[in-house]
Amino acid sequence: MISPPFLRPGDTVGVVAPASWFPYEELVDGLRILRDDWKLNVLEGDSLHAIDGPFAGSDDLRRADLQRLFDDPSVKAVFAARGGYGCYRIVDQLDLTCLHESPKWLVGFSDITVLLSLFYKHGIQSLHGLMPRQFGYPDRSQSLESVRQWLFGEIPAHYAVPAHSLNRIGEAKGSLVGGNLTMLVNSLGTSTDIDFSGSILFIEDIDETLFSLDRMMTQLRRGGRLAKLAGLVVGQFSDMRLNPSLPFGKDAFSIIADSVFEYNYPIIFDFPAGHVTYNLALPIGRTVVMKVDSEKGELLF
């Protein structure tokens, strides 16, 4: 996997909205942090000011926004301003040829997972992490610092989280893949379908029913996508919806544990990444070591 060069003050980066639209005013603090605190030159995409139904401009506009930044050798990183929905509609028209000559970081999560998967398919590392629309939130300071450390080469030695009752003890090494579970499942059979074999899979999601979570995990299991993992990291499953008239009887973590009960690789549950305040940045495509014992779960970089 190609690791893009780390950022330095004075570097040029781009910010675009490849998915849902939002008021530009919500990005002011994020742009200030990039420019004033991180000392970066920021190019703003046309999509930051565009609206087309639920999207930040038309599919063509959003795709062109990304393509310009991907093709510009002076741009060292591309930030998705927010997620939502929309990347799935434009991913197949993107050309990453220039990125092999001038690789750059792509930063985002949620709907941006499909773009992270595209980078992975092209052998380029990316960063699953906080997006500029949330950079200025006071309660996101740790998440923001996590993104900054990775982008500027201050790589943490490891992440360690407390033991969870559903964890499975063991040790594994593999390429870190994954992101939003819905986007991963929706990519099956497409150009951004990822082969999880021998990898450490990370999953998270938000605002899904427990039935749909069970259906997605069952689909991965039925398709043989869970059998050959090196390890599994289960992030946050936020705001999961219940059906009061037909209770599922299990929570999200239990559903996931049941889906992989027949396999023997290590598992970390309740990892702090996803649609939550404490959202640690994760280097998609980087080879990591995973260690799980009775006291903690660790990812070592």
Q: Which residues are catalytic?
A: 110, 204, 275
Residues 182/216, Cβ–Cβ less than 8 Å = yes
10 Å Cβ neighbour count for 191?
A: 12
Q: Cα–chain-centroid distance for residue 59?
A: 21
Task: Write the single-letter amino acid at 225.
Answer: R
10 Å Cβ neighbour count for 170?
A: 15
The residue behind tokens 């992030």 is 235
Tally the residues of the chain: 301
Residue ranges in 110-251 assigned as alpha helix (H):
113-121, 141-151, 181-186, 210-222
10 Å Cβ neighbour count for 9?
A: 9
Conformational region of residue 172, where left means phi above 0, alpha means psi within -120 to 50, and beta covers everything else: beta
Can you list the positions of beta strands (E) in 166-277? 170-180, 200-206, 231-238, 267-268
Residues 268/297, Cβ–Cβ less than 8 Å = yes
